[in-house]
A and B are shown apart, each in its own frame.
Chain A
Amino acid sequence: DVKVTQSSRYLVKRTGEKVFLECVQDMDHENMFWYRQDPGLGLRLIYFSYDVKMKEKGDIPEGYSVSREKKERFSLILESASTNQTSMYLCASSFSLADTGELFFGEGSRLTVL
């Protein structure tokens, strides 16, 4: 089975701190994604990557950056956390970027910024 592992299930950070959210997948997938999920808004795409060192902006990239140095690992970085970045963050991976490619999600990282 595909396993997408997010390093932290729960984090509490202070405003202005730098935050790293790590995601690792074990199925040699080409593509990896970071979403945030907020009540009443559904999932929104922050960034995705279709290859090592490659990245594409999603719908809401402002305030975030990403890093993909190895195929299996995709990191989301909040350079200076703000309270409006309190959210559930979901990482996903897929083998193919094609229309019908299956997305596999991690368990999520719930970030609270105080």
Chain B
Amino acid sequence: KNQVEQSPQSLIILEGKNCTLQCNYTVSPFSNLRWYKQDTGRGPVSLTIMTFSENTKSNGRYTATLDADTKQSSLHITASQLSDSASYICVVGGYGGSQGNLIFGKGTKLSVKP
């Protein structure tokens, strides 16, 4: 069964600290992996999209890594800010599928405290 598991479920860090969120998937065949940021009560916003051949992609203070062999991805946030408080959702697409076949993780809720 195609699944996307994220850990931890929630995380509290102090402003200025770094953190890493994890995503493991069993989707096969694999095509792409996306990370979205969702502020409370708002729609998700795309951070990165990585394909099979990419193993890292950055968007400002956000860096996503992908290991397609172990089927793991991580999202690293550097020098966290209060505005990073949000849920982060990992989404995996299968090869030959379409956006109608995306598998969504349940998200990691990050709280950044002053």
Chain A residues engaging chain B, CB cutoff 8 angstroms = 4, 31, 33, 40-45, 48, 56, 58, 90, 92, 94, 97-108, 110
Contacts and interface: CB of A to CB of B under 8 A. Distances in A.
User: A-B pairs with the 8 shortest C-beta distances?
Assistant: A105-B43, A99-B31, A42-B106, A97-B98, A43-B104, A42-B104, A100-B32, A107-B43
B86 to A, nearest CB: 13
A110 B41 CA distance: 8
Contacts of A45: 100, 102
The residue in A31, A41, A43, A56 that gathers the most chain B C-beta atoms within 10 A of its C-beta is A43
Contacts of B1: none
A16 to B, nearest CB: 27
B32 A41 contact: no
B98 A100 contact: no
Interface of B: 31-32, 34, 41-46, 49, 51, 89, 93-100, 102, 104-107
Contacts of A110: 41
Given A42-B104, A43-B104, A31 B99 contact: yes
A73 to B, nearest CB: 17
A95 to B, nearest CB: 10
Contacts of A103: 34, 46, 99, 102
Contacts of A97: 98-100
Given A41-B106, A42-B89, A42-B104, A99 B97 contact: yes
A78 B94 CA distance: 30
Contacts of A92: 43
Given A99-B93, A102-B46, A94 B100 contact: no
